[in-house]
């Protein structure tokens, strides 16, 4: 049963990590009904480390675009790729600094049904408003390589909002990029690339804290759960990323806004029911 639960959680992670709908909001609901028979410390760590599979999917899908050593690229294209990586590093600085300082504090004070429901609904409304306002406005930046260092830092500042559970890392960066004049496709792509150092850092930090808190090495079952969860998240992420890019080329993000509002209402409703 634990491996079946890991598969289901991997599916949820693989889909919701890339869509701007909050993987945390979904995890809270699914973990309520699919609580794994493992320690709380392992469960908390697993919730983050399962992202390794999702990161690998981005690296596979965008390997050529992200590879500055590709033999298919001329010197100018290699320089352009290096510049893209430097912009990603600049963008990750705000959330990296605040995440290292306040990650545990945010989890302690904001990881609850009420906060998640509010942020789901709040950013759902934001998506709808922003999309309506920019409906007839052409984007200022249509290619991920045209994003300046200043714009990259601005997008990174918006990613800080995702430290509050329910916000959605991809959601906050896409909203930020949209407000800064970036097209939907470029905003989604930059959000994917920004996820690589962000999620690697968050996963490494969780593993380090897990062992620093005195937890022993993983059991064979825990290793199995981690491997299965990551593998499923990887496969599902491949499909989810391709589907999202195909979708945003023809549609706005308004549908995700509506979905977030509905999910937020469900989370809030479930919380109220548990109080009765």
- Number of domains within the chain: 1
User: By the 8 A CB rule, do 218 and 183 touch?
Assistant: no
Residue linked to tokens 């998240």: 233
Residue 250, Cβ density class (10 Å: 0-12 exposed, 13-18 middle, ≥19 buried): exposed
Averaged pLDDT, 160-175: 87
Residue linked to tokens 């320089």: 79
213's CB contacts (< 8 A; 6+ apart) are 41
- Rounded to whole angstroms, the Cα distance separating 200 from 58 reads 12
Q: CA 166 from chain center: how many Å?
A: 11
* DSSP line for 125-162: HHHHHHHHHTTTPPPSB-SGGG--HHHHHHHHHHHGGG
- Rounded to whole angstroms, the Cα distance separating 19 from 197 reads 18
Averaged pLDDT, 9-13: 88
DSSP letter (8 states) at residue 167: S
Residue 224, Cβ density class (10 Å: 0-12 exposed, 13-18 middle, ≥19 buried): middle
Q: What's the Cα-to-Cα distance from 19 to each of 79, 199, 207, 208, 239, rounded to whole Å?
A: 30, 15, 25, 28, 11
In percent, how much of the chain has pLDDT > 70? 99
pLDDT recorded at residue 148 = 95
Averaged pLDDT, 230-252: 92
Averaged pLDDT, 124-141: 87
**Tokens (6 digits) for 141:** 């930046």
pLDDT recorded at residue 76 = 94
pLDDT recorded at residue 50 = 85
pLDDT tens for each residue of 38-96: 777 777 778 778 888 899 999 999 999 999 999 889 999 999 999 999 999 999 999 88
pLDDT recorded at residue 4 = 87
Averaged pLDDT, 131-160: 91
Residue 210's pLDDT band (cuts 50, 70, 90): confident
Residues spanned by the domain of 25: 2-275
* C-alpha radius of gyration, the chain, whole number: 19
């Amino acid at each position: 049963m634990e491996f079946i639960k890991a598969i289901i959680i991997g599916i949820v992670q693989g889909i919701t990590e890339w869509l701007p709908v909050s993987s945390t909001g979904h995890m809270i609901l699914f973990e309520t009904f699919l609580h794994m028979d493992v320690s709380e410390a392992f469960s908390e760590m697993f919730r983050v480390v399962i992202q390794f599979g999702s990161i690998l999917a981005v690296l596979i899908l965008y390997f050529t675009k992200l590879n500055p050593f590709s033999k298919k690229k001329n010197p100018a294209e290699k320089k352009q790729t290096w510049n893209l990586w430097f912009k990603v590093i600049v963008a990750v600085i705000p959330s990296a600094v605040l995440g290292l300082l306040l990650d545990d504090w945010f989890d302690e004070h904001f990881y609850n049904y009420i906060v998640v429901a509010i942020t789901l609904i709040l950013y759902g409304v934001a998506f709808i408003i922003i999309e309506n306002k920019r409906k007839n406005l052409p984007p200022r930046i249509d290619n991920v390589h045209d994003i300046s260092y200043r714009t990259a830092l601005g997008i990174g500042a918006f990613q800080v909002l995702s430290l509050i559970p329910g916000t959605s890392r991809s959601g906050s960066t896409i909203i930020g990029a949209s407000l800064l004049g970036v097209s939907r496709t470029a905003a989604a792509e930059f959000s994917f690339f920004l996820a690589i150092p962000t999620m690697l850092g968050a996963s490494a930090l969780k593993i380090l804290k897990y062992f620093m808190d005195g937890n022993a090495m993983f059991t064979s079952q825990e290793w199995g759960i981690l491997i299965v969860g990551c593998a499923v998240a990887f496969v599902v992420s491949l499909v989810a990323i391709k589907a999202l890019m195909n979708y945003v080329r023809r549609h706005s993000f308004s549908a995700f806004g509506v979905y977030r509002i509905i999910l937020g209402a469900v989370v809030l409703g479930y919380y109220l029911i548990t109080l009765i």
